[in-house]
Amino acid sequence: MKKIFLLFFIGVLSFSLFSKQNKNSDVIVVTSQDGLNEVLNKNDAVSVKFMASWCPACNNMKGLDQKMRNQFKGKVVFVEIDSDNAKDLVEKYKVKGIPTYLFLKNKKETKRITGSIKENDYTKYINSIAKK
């Protein structure tokens, strides 16, 4: 009986770990300028979201963020920066509120939005930087 329970527990734990890892595999979490530079140096089209886990507007955008990641997979790299854990990046990029979205093409900011974004606008901004 103990072996069955142990096998069940290991199976549940493995599934839980895999799900968490798989769930966020389409977004890169950055915590430093070096990390962001690495992403920008390797990718032409990057969408950066400055956010915080406690932010209602940030949390409300999660579903639309995921939809955009699915729609533009392979064409745009999506980055999230927790503003509470990356104050230097918040200061450097002059983030005044969250969520703040930066749309970058060839390391240059093409658009910046602070607050929630409507789906049609979000699609338009992502399309403007996406690889064709």
Question: CB of 28 within 8 A of CB of 77?
Answer: yes
Those residues with Cβ within 8 angstroms of residue 106's Cβ, 6 or more apart along the chain or in another chain: 44
DSSP readout, 78-103?
EEEEETTT-HHHHHHTT--SSSEEEE
For residue 9, the SS3 value is helix
Which residues carry out catalysis?
Answer: 55, 58
- Sequence-distant (≥ 6) Cβ neighbours of residue 76 within 8 angstroms: 45, 46, 47, 68, 126, 129, 130, 131
Look up residue 31 and give its two tokens. Answer: 């915590």
